[in-house]
Amino acid sequence: MSTDIRRGLTGVVVDTTAISTVISETNSLTYGGYAVQDLAASRSWEEVAHLLWHGDLPDATQLADFRAAEAAQRRLDRTGQEVLRKLPETCHPMDVLRTAVSYFGAQDPTEDLADRAANQAKALSLFAKLPTVVALDLRRRRGQDPIPPDPTLGYAENFFHMCFGEVPSADVVRAFETTMILYAEHSFNASTFAARVITSTLSDLYSAVTGAIGALKGPLHGGANEAVMHMLVAIDDPDRVESWLDEALATKQKIMGFGHRVYKNGDSRVPIMQDALDNLIATHADDRVRRLAEVYTRLQTAMFQRKAIHPNLDYPSALAYHVMGFDTPTFTPIFVMSRITGWTAHIVEQLTANVLIRPLSAYTGPQQRPVPA
């Protein structure tokens, strides 16, 4: 048995991927060879989704077909809506999303796992339906009736329409698209790896996505964007930041939205998201948000002074979603709406050259002994 134990698989390269590359030394991230900064500056969310699934940006016809196929598949059937409405409101919206994917899987039994086109069709169907689930659940918790999808609207506009009954100004929609582009894919992060592990047993795409949602929910991963918002609200007073942080660090708490397994000198995505957040705050913040933004800025400074640890993408995204009007428990489900692209691209890639993922462990329990009579 190997004695070279890498707890948390830290630093272990387990396979190849052609989908994205995270280069920690240069704080860079590319999707299909394109820098994520350039994509966020010049491309729509739908174009980036196409890139992740097909390895290249769409031409005008491919984009129009992609948009039409997405818009046509947004609706949930009546039974699906009933299933989701029956879930207790005490459960987290991530539980609702996880259940929804399980339901979609039960409706669509897998026939040919190796059929790349069939898996891509399932991925597109989830991409189209997940926003409808998130919006339905957000409104249910607010005591509001669902708003059906509007196929004449683009992906992002339609999501705002289904959540709030209106589409905000173009700069807010673009900031939202920026979060979607940045959250879409990040190599072998924990949830994507979970999806690849499940796929490696030749299980189906829905099972892999369900498992990935479970992995993303945790606060050390995607759940951090909600945890950041709870933390900013709990600190509340900009003058309290330093004492709050000292107390938290003294009691060995992890400060949500800071640190990263791969990036040790800053997350490649944060500067773009920070710009988007600054613009949102400049044009759409009220006094309450400005106060939270001051807590946010002071905490970032104090964290760097004390620990030299940088924020990760969940830090600016959390406040951005708050400014956009989303309820905090919706933040990680919105991350799912984006990461569904990366997950399903990896599921398809895993299936093209599958190998069962099964590491070893070093046993530390009792020596073999007789079972007592």
Ligand X SMILES: O=C([O-])CC(=O)C(=O)O
Ligand Y SMILES: CC(=O)SCCNC(=O)CCNC(=O)[C@H](O)C(C)(C)COP(=O)(O)OP(=O)(O)OC[C@H]1O[C@@H](n2cnc3c(N)ncnc32)[C@H](O)[C@@H]1OP(=O)(O)O
State in angstroms the smallest separation of the CB of 141 from ligand Y. Answer: 24
How large is the greatest C-alpha to C-alpha distance in the chain, in angstroms? 75
C-alpha closest to that of 188 among 63, 6, 8:
8
Of 76 and 320, nearer to ligand Y (C-beta) is 320
Q: Which of the stretches 121-129, 162-170, 307-315, 350-358 binds ligand Y when contact is defined by CB under 6 A?
A: 307-315
Residue 189 binds to ligand X (criterion: CB under 6 A)? yes
C-alpha closest to that of 105 among 216, 217, 180, 212:
212
Number of residues that bind ligand Y (CB under 6 A): 17
Between CA 157 and CA 160 the distance in angstroms is 5
Between CA 296 and CA 314 the distance in angstroms is 12
Of 39 and 190, nearer to ligand Y (C-beta) is 190
- Show the tokens assigned to 20: 């994205």
State in angstroms the smallest separation of the CB of 221 from ligand X. Answer: 6
Residue 345 binds to ligand X (criterion: CB under 6 A)? no
Q: Which of the stretches 93-101, 138-146, 205-213, 217-225 binds ligand Y when contact is defined by CB under 6 A?
A: 217-225
Residue 186 binds to ligand X (criterion: CB under 6 A)? yes
Residue 141 binds to ligand Y (criterion: CB under 6 A)? no
Of 104 and 258, nearer to ligand Y (C-beta) is 258
The site map against ligand X for 296-335 (x = CB under 6 A) is ----------------xx----------------------
Binding to ligand X, residues 3-32 (CB under 6 A): none
DSSP codes, 180-246: HHHHS--TT-HHHHHHHHHHHTT--HHHHHHHHHHHHHSTTTTTHHHHHHHHHHHH--GGGHHHHHH
Give whole-number Cα distances, 194 to 76, 207, 215, in Å: 27, 10, 7
Between CA 189 and CA 337 the distance in angstroms is 16
Residue 185 binds to ligand Y (criterion: CB under 6 A)? no
Binding to ligand X, residues 238-267 (CB under 6 A): 260-262
CB 101 within 8 A of CB 77: no
Number of residues that bind ligand X (CB under 6 A): 7
CB 225 within 8 A of CB 321: yes
314 labelled catalytic? yes
Residue 75 binds to ligand X (criterion: CB under 6 A)? no
Pick one of ligand X, ligand Y, none as the site partner of residue 310 (Cβ within 5 to 8 A by kind).
none
State in angstroms the smallest separation of the CB of 70 from ligand Y. Answer: 24
List, as own/partner pairs, every contact residues 51-54 make where C-beta atoms lie below 8 angstroms and the sequence separation is at least 24, other chains included. Answer: 52/19, 52/20, 52/184, 52/185, 52/341, 52/342, 52/345, 53/120, 53/123, 53/124, 53/341, 53/344, 53/345, 53/348
The one catalytic residue in 260, 310, 322, 346 is 260
DSSP codes, 88-115: -TTS-HHHHHHHHHHHHHHHS--S-TT-
The site map against ligand Y for 240-279 (x = CB under 6 A) is --------------xxxxxxxx------------------
Of 124 and 313, nearer to ligand X (C-beta) is 313
For the purposes of burial, counting CB atoms within 10 Å of the CB of 215, is it exposed (0-12), middle (13-18) or buried (19 or more)?
A: buried
State in angstroms the smallest separation of the CB of 260 from ligand X. Answer: 6
Residue 314 binds to ligand Y (criterion: CB under 6 A)? yes
Query: Using the rule CB under 6 A, which residue among 163, 173, 224, 337 binds ligand Y?
Result: 224
Between CA 152 and CA 71 the distance in angstroms is 8
112 labelled catalytic? no
Binding-site ranges for ligand X (CB under 6 A): 186, 189, 260-262, 312-313
Binding-site ranges for ligand Y (CB under 6 A): 220-222, 224, 254-261, 307, 309, 312-314
